Amino acid sequence: MARGRRKVNTDTLDAKIEQQKAALEKAKVKYEAEKETLAELIKLCNEMRKEELMEAVIKSDRSYAEIMAFIKAAPGDRVKKQPVCVSETATGC
């Protein structure tokens, strides 16, 4: 005996659709609030990093030109400190 598809009442289906729309809207509102909170936290973090960087620049014995040249230089062009060898058998020497 073949089973047919259960008939769904259109009123029930419409109610489920409205319920799902409401749930989706609620989730969207929560998402937007969380997104705004994340943006505020990122902004605060960036402001703190800027302040930390400015303090480091002020305390540095390097000139503004030296700092800018270092920042703008390609990573391969930056001068790296050579490892100090304690003995000739040390790796990297």
Q: pLDDT digits over 27-79, tens only?
A: 999 999 999 999 999 999 999 999 999 999 999 999 989 998 988 988 877 66
Cα(27)–Cα(84) distance, integer angstroms: 58
pLDDT of 84 strictly over 70: no
Do residues 35 and 27 make contact, with C-beta atoms less than 8 angstroms apart?
A: no
pLDDT at 89 exceeding the cut of 70: no
Rounded CA separation 39/27 (Å): 18
Could you tell me if 83 and 93 are in contact, meaning their C-beta atoms sit under 8 angstroms apart? yes
Instruction: Tell me which residue of 53, 49, 51 sits closest to 70, measured CA to CA.
Output: 53
User: Counting every residue, how long is the chain?
Assistant: 93
pLDDT band of residue 85 (cuts 50, 70, 90) is: low
Does pTM top 0.85 for this prediction? no
